[in-house]
Structure 1
Amino acid sequence: MVMQRMPFKYLILIFGVLFASCEKGLQDINVNPNESEVINPEFLLSSVLINTAYDYQKEAYFDEPASAGRYITMVRNEGNDKFDWGPQSWDSYYSKLSSNREMMDLAKKLNVPQYVSVGKILEAFNFAYVTDLFGDIPYSEALLLKNQTLAHPKYDPQQTIYPALLQTLKEANNELATITDKVDATADVMYKGEPLNWRKFANSLRLRMLLRISKNYPTAFTEMQEILNDKSKYPIFESNADNAEIIYQGAVAANSWPGSPQGSSFDEFDKRKPSKEIVDALLQRNDPRLKVWIARVDSLKEWTTDPNPYVGVPNAIPAPYDYNGGKFHISRLSSLFSSTKGDMLKASMLTYAEVCFILAECVQAGKVTVPGKTAESLYYDGIHANMKFYGVDQAAIDAGYFNQASVKYNGTLEQLIGQKWIAGFLKGAEAWFDNRRTGLPKFVLGPMSSTTVLPKRYIYPTGERDTNEEQYQKALTVFGADKQTTLMWYLK
């Protein structure tokens, strides 16, 4: 059952009001003239934005998307690698959506429409992620518990959800182009209140979503072209400065990079090794990002399989902790990923590099045109942008990286998606989603995999069968079996 959850601070406020009613004689002396008695939308915006970015990033490193995207191999608790996933909870996603809707409703009452428009972008991002993971989901009735006491929301088909979200993003862009007031800069920890940046995020997110559904959405490329034809009306990401990402403060566990001892524990960090597939891809290309992301093995002696100083672990193999002779002969992630914060550690939702690869794919396929750009130039723009983020762009140029046969643009989708996959290292679920859509990169499942194909989706939460059984069963008659291998609408 999808329910709205009341934020903890609201509970505090309610209990405070109840206490005050009992202590009527103390009301006058307990009023603080400097403290607002109304929860302002900027506080909710900050919370929703941070939680959205941090949770999305954590899943890209700690959870199923990291294994499905072949970035991480678990050497203990290997269920993710074996695709033995089982039902997945969506409570955290709907909790953020509920708080975001609360912020939007409050903003409407207070007549601060800029918060509604930004809220629309966050709502589209979060709903898109949930339907990308599960397929058909509660959408139109999902957040009506509070206002309409609707506790058993229906599941909407993905083919109606996606167009609605695309329209929501378009509306947000158009609204932010005309609204003169900005959201509070201190509340907006991503863009400091600048509406142009939020518009770029909205339109770049539309590009991602349109490509994702393009197989079964006839106007996908027409809508993409509309965006690309008018950058003043539909601005998109133009550099890394536009990236939709948030820094980690590193002060406490809640605002630290999830792989750091403060953000989790060294035990959690050490059970996650770089996958053999990403390490080998970097080695084969003499890629300078290798040394930024991957640590050298502790010993070059007594290895059993791989003599390289950088050794990734294959996914879904027996006893992965013993691979190549054990822990001294396999790589950890670099010390960057055991830090609490850093310029190269950000909670990332969408990057300029990804947008370059999206456009390169569409131009290469002859579906759209980008003024002043070719598929080749966009392909190189994507690689350069990612390398600049990690401070190795000039080193790559000096080493002749782009002159290698494996890197030099050849017009194939396999090469393009391969570079997009590398650039997306630990930056979201896009590697998994791209593989579902294109079959690329050609990942190796591993001998211990519980399935013969990469999972196509998450299984619905167990709670839905317990508390929303009728709507759950109705959904399956339309969607299909509740299995990891069932294809959602845009993959059919």
Structure 2
Amino acid sequence: MKIRLIKAVAFTLLTGVFFSCEDLTKVNINPNGVQPEVVNPNLVMPTVLTEMSKAYVNLGYQDIAGVVQHTQKDAWSSGHNDYDWGGNQSWSGYYDILRNNDLLYSRAVALNWEFQQGVALVNKAFMFGLITDLWGDAPYTNALKGETGGTDNILPAYDSQEVIYTGILADLEKANTLLSKQKSEYSNIVDNVDVIYSGDPTKWRKLANSLALRYYMRISSKKPDVAKAGIEKIAKNPANYPVILSNSDDATMGFPGTSDGTSWPANAVYDVSGSNYRRIKMANTFVKYLQGVKDPRLGVWAAKVEIPLVVDATLPAKTDKIVDGKRYLSPDVVGNTKVDTDPEYVGLPTSFSQLPSAYNMNPTPGQTSFNPHVSFLAPMYKNATGPLLRARLVSAAEVNFILAEAALKGYSVGDAKTFYENGIKASLTTWGVGSTSAAYLANSGVAYNGTVKQVIEQKWIASWTAATEAWFDFRRTGFPELKAGPVAKRQALPVRFYYMQDELRINSKNSAAALDKLEVTNFSQADGKNSAWSKPWIIQGTGKPY
């Protein structure tokens, strides 16, 4: 991979609007004359935070939501529904963010600004964590040294996942120390350039330690002693290792909605046709599960079916008519076609057809169809901005579920039931239905039963619009027990992204060495080593998810 040093300087403070710098990764020379060697770190921070947050929500709201079957698409659907990803999934945008973040960190070190150093280390851990989680081995040690000379930096070697996760945890430990002071003890904090926490070092410290919990749990099957010691260290020392246990500490970013680049992805405000919103439907897997446990979040996330179907054997043959907002069909009209007659919510089955827009007797199938017989997402997802439309990086729900799983593994962290129930309460509160917590926790299938399966399934629900964590949990645990649909590219869920073709061609020696360490499975097939179904180190030897 040819790593290019792109000198990007955010000018957000000069404009007073943090999203005015929509894509500063393309800026090589600052027209205001502020060069990287002297730039104020506070001018770089908003670019890093906004681009990082947008990258994460774009994954969790788009194709990865299809993988974990939160949603399916009924047009332009092959990537979302069928895992037909090809070989061009690029990490270049992620490394662009890391280069800008490296500038933020190096300038903060030069100026001895500890708050900005701590934030940059958290960002570095988050982005490198995402890269290795998605692809496997990746350039890490020499990845951001393209202008320091030498072929090894221009075409860097790939570090192993084990090395990368170890480095991530070390950076988060350092960030915990750097962010341990009261805000008044730091200099040069500018609240409005921090679009995550408004310059609050205590909350950034909680994010650092919460990410450490995420990554200790990630490696728990491969390095169980390290994971146990790390999680117990954090859980037993809340004064020295505070974590996110309250919704008020969630790491989230809102969207101003002033342009397409600063708006909720797939909104119908700047996409005047509304096609991106219109194509995304609730997945049948998710809808049925939520209905089965009487989950109040379904009504927050999904719209009710516009025109429910009613199949009535007492109707005359060839009946197909709409009466009082319902479409009545005689059995002969339906024939052998599978239909869902739920009067409220209907999800799109997983990868069931190459023409998913035809599902449930849609009279106008096609790429531009509007299917009135399947649940759209809630109308708020058409908006450019809104109180619930946020990029969610780490939440109190996730942290509580991690600790619940840790307790069930026998770690000395506290009571699994309490963490499990607190995770559910946190998620319900996030989505405005916290008042239903007591009733929901008493429902069949929700009432605590002491299994990791139940914890991960609730974590899967709570990861709505942040689906990457649900994917990595599935890969690690096999839960939820998701199955590929009949027309999916393989009859199993993928476990990684492909290395992109440009990388394989340009950095061929190092990428070939990384490929050689992947484990081919029965589902890798014609893809060979570079397959979305070949196992990276993190799940090799675990027997998961297959």
Give me the TM-score of the superposition, normalised by structure 2.
0.82
Counterpart amino acid of 1:195?
Answer: P
Cα 1:329–1:163 shift into 2, 3 Å: same
Distance 2:437 2:116 in 1: 42
In structure 2, how many angstroms separate the alpha carbons of the residues matched to 1:378 and 1:16? 51
Picking from 286, 290, 301, the partner of 1:278 is 286
Distance apart, 1:369 and its partner CA:
2.1
- Deviation digits for residues 181-213 of structure 1, max 9, x if unmatched? 153211111111111101100000000111111
1:189 corresponds to 2:189 = no
- Bigger shift: 469-478 or 116-125? 469-478
The secondary structure found in structure 1 opposite 2:180 is helix
- Look up the SS of the partner of 2:393 in the other structure: strand
Task: Tell me the equivalent position of 1:423.
Answer: 462
Instruction: Write 1 or 2 for the structure with the bigger share of helix.
Output: 1
Structure 1 segments (4+ residues) deviating >6 Å? none
Q: Is the 8 A contact 1:349 1:428 kept in 2?
A: no
Tell me how far 1:328 sits from its aligned partner.
Answer: 1.2
What per-residue deviation string (whole Å, max 9, x for no partner) do you get for residues 114-153 of structure 1?
Answer: 2122101100000000000000000001000023352100
Match of 2:209 among 187, 203, 210: 203
Q: CA deviation at 1:453?
A: 1.6
**Could you list the runs of 5+ residues in structure 2 that have no partner in the other structure?**
9-23, 309-326, 330-337, 363-370, 520-528, 541-546
What is the alpha-carbon distance in structure 1 between the residues aligned to residue 270 and residue 61 of structure 2? 12
Deviation at 1:262, TM superposition (A): 3.1
Aligned to 2:254: 247
Q: CA deviation at 1:282?
A: 1.2
CA contact (8 A) 2:141 2:159 kept: yes
> Partners in 2 of 1:436 and 1:302 — Cα distance?
43
Q: How far apart, CA to CA, are the structure 2 residues paired with 1:195 and 1:396?
A: 31
Q: CA contact under 8 A between 1:254 and 1:263: conserved in structure 2?
A: no
Task: State the shift of 1:16 in Å.
Answer: 7.1
2:491 aligned counterpart, secondary structure: coil
- Shift of the 193–61 alpha-carbon distance from structure 1 to 2, 3 Å rule, reads same
Q: Distance in 1 between matches of 2:531 and 2:175?
A: 35
Match for residue 325 of structure 1 among 345, 348, 361: 361
Please report how far the alpha carbon of residue 74 of structure 1 lies from its aligned counterpart in structure 2 after TM superposition.
1.3
Aligned partners of 1:232, 1:461: CA distance in 2, in Å? 44
Counterpart of 2:401 in structure 1: which amino acid? F
Q: Aligned partners of 1:369 and 1:196: how far apart in 2?
A: 22
Shift in Å at residue 226 of structure 1?
0.5
Q: 1:383 & 1:16 partners in 2: Cα distance?
A: 49
1:375 aligns to what? Answer: 416
Describe how 1:462-473 pairs up with structure 2 within 5 A: 462-473=501-512
C-alpha contact 2:398 2:423 (8 A) present in aligned 1 = yes
After superposition, what is the alpha-carbon deviation per residue over 1:309-331, rounded to whole angstroms, capped at 9, x for unaligned? 20000121112111111211100
Deviation, structure 1 residue 178: 4.5
- Counterpart CA distance in 2 for 1:356 and 1:86 is 36
How far apart are 1:484 and its partner, in Å?
1.1
Deviation by residue 1:435-467 (Cα, 9 ceiling, x = unmatched): 111111111211001112210100101111221
Alpha carbons 2:138, 2:160 under 8 Å: kept: yes
Distance 1:264 1:346 in 2: 19
Which residue of structure 2 lines up, in the alignment, with residue 226 of structure 1? Answer: 233
Aligned CA-pair RMSD: 2.1
Output the CA distance in 1 between the equivalents of 2:206 and 2:136: 26
Write the distance in 1 (CA, Å) between the matches of 2:198 and 2:204.
Answer: 10
Q: What is the CA–CA distance in structure 2 between the aligned matches of 1:426 and 1:200, rounded to whole Å?
A: 22
Deviation at 1:106, TM superposition (A): 1.7
What TM-score, normalized to structure 1? 0.91
Question: Retained in 1: the 8 A contact 2:84–2:489?
Answer: yes
Judging changes above 3 Å, is the alpha-carbon distance between structure 1 residues 14 and 432 closer, same or farther for their aligned structure 2 residues?
A: closer
Give the drift of 1:307.
1.0
Q: How many residues align?
A: 470
Unaligned runs of 5+ in 1: 18-31
Q: Are positions 1:359 and 2:398 aligned together? A: no
**How many angstroms does 1:390 deviate by?**
1.1
Q: Following the alignment from structure 2 to structure 1, what is the Cα–Cα distance between the partners of residues 93 and 239? A: 36
Judge conservation of contact 2:245–2:397 (CA < 8 Å) in 1: no
Match of 2:297 in 1: 289
Matched, 1:305 2:353: no
Percent of aligned positions that are identical: 32
Residue by residue, what CA displacement relative to the aligned partner does 1:231-261 show, whole Å, maximum 9, x if unpaired?
Answer: 1110101200111111111121111111312
C-alpha distance in structure 2 between counterparts of 1:142 and 1:75, whole Å: 39
Q: Is the contact between residue 316 and residue 449 of structure 1 (CA under 8 Å) also seen in structure 2?
A: yes
Map Cα deviations across residues 330-385 of structure 1 (whole Å, 9 max, x no partner).
Answer: 00000121121111111111100011111111112212322xxx111111111111
* CA distance in structure 2 between the aligned counterparts of 1:340 and 1:466, rounded to whole angstroms: 39
- Offset, 1:36: 12
Q: CA deviation at 1:293?
A: 0.5
Between the two structures, name the one with larger relative contact order (CA 8 Å, sep ≥ 6): 1
* Shift of residue 154, structure 1, vs aligned partner: 0.4
Aligned-partner residue type, residue 320 of structure 1: P
Match of 2:221 among 211, 215, 220: 215
Match of 1:409 in 2: 448
Tell me the residue number matched to 1:123. Answer: 124
Given that residues 352 and 382 in structure 1 are in contact (C-alpha distance below 8 angstroms), is that contact kept between their aligned partners in structure 2? Answer: yes
Shift of 1:474: 2.2
Letter in 2 for 1:343: P
Q: Given the superposition, is the C-alpha separation of residues 219 and 38 from structure 1 closer, same or farther in structure 2, using an over 3 Å criterion?
A: closer
Deviation per CA, 1:67-91, whole angstroms, max 9, x where unpaired?
Answer: 1111110111122211111221001
**Residues 1:135 and 2:142 are matched in the alignment:** no
